[in-house]
Amino acid sequence: VRIPVPWGHIAGKWWGSREGTPVILAIHGWQDNAGSWDPVCERIPDEYSVLAVDLPGNGLSSHFPPFVSYTFLETPAILKRIVNYLNRGKIHLLGHSGGSAVCFMYACTFPEDVISYCGIDYLVYCYQKESARVTALSKNLDTAINLALRDPRKAKRYSWEEARDKWVAATKGSLTPLTAEILMQRGVSKLPDGRVVFSRDNRVKSADLNQLKVDQVTDMVRNYEASTCLLRAKDSMYFYSRGIKNFPGILDILKNQCRHYEYHDLEGNHHIHMDKADEVSEIYVSFLNQVKRLN
């Protein structure tokens, strides 16, 4: 699947009926790609229509033009382009990690577009202390500039096994060799000599300071009304260590405000949707069925 955009295309992968409605739009985590949804989508009944996309700069999607930054605040606009292109009415959102935060922000910003949101091991990207952001700003800007100046023609070449092991190591064991190889199907380019290079844009690696303040999220969540299912991986630090640590009251707000709300603690690490696909897909399909009954 290729969705045209001014800088090229957004690549995606359909599961189930392409004509079915509403569409489930699945958004991967930071530096992953649409392949991360393969294990779950293989287990979702064909009656559902799932579109998993590669965010710009990842997988098979086009990179942004030179010196255009990849930011958290830009990504909901990418989702809006996709929703407008599909023109299939309201959607379900399914997100993992940073993709989950993007889906949540989209559902707050465009509540009229969203029936339900399921977020896996992440919810919101926000901060409290301005001083910490100021301290990190110069370092992160230098890093972003240096990454942008790298010549992709000089990218390091790896054997398949070396690339797989490097990806596993970069996630500190959240990925296994098996799940890393699933991501590699869309995340590396094969060279004539049999070696591979990572195909993601170097610029997606830089830290993103485009977070929201807690009071901004507080204002945004007032518009939120989607049925919600949150899944937290017990062996992962990500769910609480970022935005929820700064805004712990958000879970109670959602519980009281959503038409239907579920929260699940699951054994496993950050890429739990790949490692425990049976359990995750069972919870998600049950959630979708519950939402269908409510609507």
Q: How many CB atoms sit inside 10 A of residue 173's CB? A: 12
According to DSSP, the residues that pair with 21 across neighbouring strands are none
Residues marked active site are found at: 97
The answer to whether the CB of 247 falls within 8 A of the CB of 136 is no
C-alpha–C-alpha distance, residues 228 and 117, integer Å:
5
CA proximity to 221, closest of 257, 192, 245, 191: 257
Chain-centroid distance of CA 127 in Å reads 19
Name residue 70's amino acid.
Y
Pairing mode, strands 114-120 and 188-190: unpaired
Query: What crossing angle do the helices spanning 75-86 and 98-109 adopt, rounded to 10°?
Result: 70
For strands 196-198 and 212-213, give the pairing.
unpaired
